[in-house]
Amino acid sequence: MEDITRWELPPRIIRAATEANLRNCDKILTLSVGDIQRKTNLSQSDSKLLTKTASKKVLGSGKQYHSALQLLRRENCSPTAMTKVTSCGCPTLDRFLRGGILIPGLTEIAGESASGKTQFCLQLSLAVQLPYKLGGLQSGAVYICTEGSFPARRLHQMIPFFENRLKEHQLESIKFSDNVYVEHAMTIEELQDIMENTLPRLLSRGEVRLVIIDSIAALFRSEFDIKEAAQRATQLHKFGRQLLRYGSIYDTGFICVNQVSDTIDPRTFDVQQGEKNIVRSVIPALGLAWSNVVNIRLILSRCEYLYNSIIKNDDSEFSELTPESVRFISHFPVIRKMKVLLAPHLRMSESYFLVDGLGIKGIENVTTYIESQMRKLKPSNDDINQGEQMHL
């Protein structure tokens, strides 16, 4: 953007703006007319003229701008201006998230161990490859591992489900495993090298629209101690801004896996677990520096307590199950919960899902599902009659 000294303005306005260090559009348009008056001692009419001239310079720069109404109606908007979503690979969860994961954007998936974070990320790396017709983006994914090796075997277990979806719609097959680019970063320096060298090359070719870091907490929690909290916060904020910048430039979504920490703050959400219905308050790790750059925050947790809560309800038809039957509950599929804690387009809400051999499957109605499972423990009428005959 050209310097203010070249603008067609009265010399007094140029001189006053220059002395106040308002030399370009960015600095002028971030101030109100009143602020410009105070900084430059110009009259209100001169300040308005300066603002109006700067606005015309921006609008005439060749960039395309859109109103909020245009974006809402998706009218006369460039493709890069419109927010897109990529499917989660599950219709139930897609409905819950209003289409899936936002692109571009920085989404955090937090939760305790075995809550399904990596399972969800693996499924996202496959779902993004689906055709637009099926909710994907027809693009690959970069999967950056910071803890151990990449779960390639588990990824291949999930692929048949997506291959069957293509066959059902008579669409061309995809080599899913060839479009997941795996990188390993055991230190922050290695992660930064990937971000500055490897990643831009992949993104610039348009082959990748989703980047997954599993997990961000593993590096930043292990390499900084308590005395280095300020340094960690600065580096975290800088790293988060880098992800957002890449997302904007390359129209790409970023998924960062995070851990959780225990807290005594009563305002935080609760994770219930175990047969004794223990309630623990937890919050995502890494603090406010990281929270301030996250666009969407999803919390995953295990919900084994749901089965037992029905048994302990005196009004439930399952309250009189025998101890032998109750012991079989441990063999039931573990119900997990996804909670929206932060999102610009979603209210705070929750949904439930299962993890099976083919991936993550959402539960439409968790109460109905639990009751259907519990009925497997109730003896049938034939069993009751047979037991009575044996007793006689």
Q: What tokens appear for 228 in the block?
A: 């280095």
Domain for residue 385, yes or no?
no
Is the bond preceding 11 in cis, omega lying within 30 degrees of 0?
no
Tens digit of each residue's pLDDT (9 = 90 or more) over 7-43: 888 999 999 999 998 888 888 888 999 999 999 999 9
With respect to residue 103, please indicate whether it lies within any of the assigned structural domains: yes
Residue 101 lies in a domain: yes
In a domain? residue 149? yes
- Look at residues 71, 110, 128 and name the one whose alpha carbon lies nearest to residue 296: 110
One domain for residues 194 and 298: yes
Q: Within this chain, do residues 93 and 11 fall inside the same structural domain, yes or no?
A: no
Strand 140-145 versus strand 180-184 pairing type: parallel
Note the maximum CA span of the chain.
111
Token duo for residue 183: 């990188």
The total of structural domains in the chain comes to 2
388 occurs within a structural domain: no
Residue 219 and residue 167 share a domain: yes
Q: Is the pLDDT of residue 121 over 80?
A: yes
* pLDDT (average), residues 256-284: 66
* 152 or 80, higher pLDDT: 152
Whether residue 139 sits in one domain with residue 38 = no
Report yes or no on 54 lying in a domain. yes
Identify the CATH number of the domain in which residue 222 sits: 3.40.50.300
CA distance 39 to 369: 65
Mean pLDDT of the chain, nearest integer: 84
- Shared domain for 315 and 337, answered yes or no, is yes
CB-CB contact of 265 with 125 (8 Å): no
In a domain, 26, yes or no: yes
Residue 256 bridge partners (DSSP): 108, 213
Q: Which domain holds residue 43?
A: 4-59
What is the CATH classification number for the domain harbouring 28?
Answer: 1.10.150
Lowest mean pLDDT segment, chosen from 46-50, 143-147, 221-225, 350-354: 221-225
Q: Residues 142-179: pLDDT tens digits?
A: 999 998 899 999 999 999 999 999 999 999 999 999 99
- Residues 14, 108, single domain; the answer is no
Confidence of residue 269 (pLDDT cuts 50, 70, 90): low
Note whether 149 and 96 are same-domain residues: yes
Provide DSSP, 37-55.
HHHH---HHHHHHHHHHHH
Nearest-angstrom CA–CA distance, 13 and 94: 54
pLDDT confidence of 120, banded at 50, 70, 90? very high
Is the confidence at residue 272, as pLDDT, over 60?
Answer: no
- pTM, rounded to two decimals: 0.75
Same domain (yes/no): 251, 351? yes
Give the integer Cα–Cα distance in Å for 152 and 145: 12
pLDDT in tens, 297-321: 999 999 877 777 766 665 666 666 6
Distance, CA of 330 to CA of 183 (rounded, Å) = 37
Is 315 exposed, middle or buried, given 0-12, 13-18 or 19+ CB atoms closer than 10 A? Answer: exposed
Do the beta carbons of residue 350 and residue 336 sit within 8 Å?
no
Residues 43, 77, single domain; the answer is no
Same domain as 77, residue 28: no
Decide: helix, strand or coil at residue 181. strand
Same domain, residue pair 98 and 54:
no
In-domain check, residue 46: yes
Q: Are 181 and 199 in contact (CB under 8 A)?
A: no
Nearest CA-CA partner of 174 in 225, 133, 235: 133
Which amino acid, residue 325? S
Are 36 and 169 members of one domain?
no
